[in-house]
Amino acid sequence: MLEKAGIARPMGRNEPEERGGAAKGELSEAPHGVARLACFAGVVLLLAILLDALITCGLRQINTSSFGVWNRIVDGKINADILISGSSRALTHYDPRIIEERTGLTAFNIGLNGSQTDMQVARLKTYLRHNKKPLLLIQNLDLFSFQTTHGGVYDPGQYVAYLEEPAIYAALARIDPNVWKARVVPLYGYAAEDLRFSWISGAMGFFGWNPPEDHFLGFRPRYSAWTEDFERLKAMNPEGVRFEIEAEGVSQMEELLSLCKDQAIKVLLVYSPEYMEMQALTTNRPQIFKRFDELTHRFGAPVWDYSSSPTSARRENFYNSQHLNAEGAMTFSNDLAERLAADPVLGRPSVRSYSKGKSS
């Protein structure tokens, strides 16, 4: 019938007969060949598993730089009285050494480079899981504080060794549902997600290597001169720039404040210095700051706004429109620390618990 319909045609003389399996003689070779391939695949898989474990172990052994900070967080070795949290602006603006000196309290900076509020909350939760809760959380505010991560996290390789942390994994899974592959498939996270070759650091760390220290109580000073990034930004955006206020971003900020409220952690929201020309370029700045004020009213967390500070006015304090250089960070940290020490609420004797010897 199929032949009549023209769909099939009778087999020709030269076409192989259907034998339902391999020919004799070939039958015995196939299982042997398949077994060899399977064995080789097993060897590769085993190597991948071992290498993955070696890299992860190595990264967890590093004492310095950004991985050193991560390890101190998850090993519960910080336990600071004052904790600074936020994005790269937190990381490069707040020097805990100066804050410690002025306030007499221990301080640590867990600012996360290239992060939005969702990943900052995850890092804070991880900190609280392993460390004593701080007396005061200083949360740095940004124009993009009400935005969540889209299109992938910055430097995803830094998280691979810490995917067992529930808060980190949950936050990453919200951003990229495929993050389970990094947990389950050996080397996937270091291969598929990491462009910075963290796996090399991990392999070397396994044998005791540590990168040069560039984080000081979590603070990372930037010894850079002003770059041309802002001029390019202005040229590309003559009408100004706008930072969207996302509902999920607002929700993340509220989650952070609620978390602190539930744990009786005082919160101070700080809008650290921003180069004033950038302030003028942002078209919806008033709306963003109005949202900051709303948070203050709802959660009782004061906002200290350094937008109009002398530090913000001087280009010499910045290496780009959003980030203070080392000198600018020192000036700002001094201002902040003195204000903290003098604050009637935040600087009250009952808040002080001098334990400077614990900070390292």
Partner 1 sequence: MLFNSLEFAIFFPIVATMYFVLPQRLRTLHLLVSSCVFYMAFIPAYILILALTIVIDYTAGLYLEKATGRARVWLLAVSVIATCLVLFVFKYFFFVVNNVIGFAGLFGWQLSGPSIEIILPIGLSFHTFQSLSYVIEVYRGRQRAELNFVTYATYVMFFPQLVAGPIERPQNLLHQFYERHEFDYVRVTAGLKRMAWGFFKKLVIADRLALYVNDVYANPQNFNGLQLTLATIFFAYQIYCDFSGYSDIAIGSARVLGFKLMENFDKPYHALTISEFWRRWHISLSTWFRDYIYIPLGGSRFGERRHFASLLVTFGISGLWHGANWTYVFWGLLNAIYLIAGSISKDARNRAFGLIGMTEGTWARRLVMWASTFLLTCIGWIFFRANTMADAWYILTHLAIGWDFERISTEQFLLRQMPIAIAGIALLEIVQLLQNRVSISAILARLPLAPRWAVYASAIIATVLFGIFRKTQFIYFQF
Contact 21, 165 (CB under 8 A): no
Spatial distance between the Cα atoms of 153 and 116, rounded to a whole number of angstroms = 9
Choose one: 11-19, 110-118, 275-283, 324-332; the region binding partner 1 (CB under 8 A).
11-19
Read off the amino acid at residue 218: G
Work out the angle between the directed axes of helices 117-130 and 247-262 (0-180°, nearest 10): 20
Min CB(281)–partner 1 separation in Å: 19
Min CB(32)–partner 1 separation in Å: 7
Read off the amino acid at residue 150: H
262 touches partner 1 (CB under 8 A): no
Nearest CA among 47, 69, 80 for reference residue 210? 69
How many residues belong to the site for partner 1 (CB under 8 A)? Answer: 39
Name which position in 1, 20, 177, 212 contacts partner 1 (CB under 8 A).
20
Min CB(146)–partner 1 separation in Å: 24
∠ CA 271-277-280 to the nearest 5 degrees? 80
Upper half-sphere CA count for residue 145 (Cβ side, 13 Å):
27
| Residue span 24-53 as binding mask against partner 1, x where in contact by CB under 8 A, dash where not | --x--xx-xxx-xx--x--xx--xx--x--
Name which position in 4, 13, 19, 24 contacts partner 1 (CB under 8 A).
19
Min CB(62)–partner 1 separation in Å: 18
Contact 335, 309 (CB under 8 A): yes
Segment 166-185, which members bind partner 1 (CB under 8 A)? 181, 185
By the criterion CB under 8 A, which residues form the site for partner 1? 6-9, 15-16, 18-23, 26, 29-30, 32-34, 36-37, 40, 43-44, 47-48, 51, 181, 185, 187-188, 190-193, 195-197, 199, 232
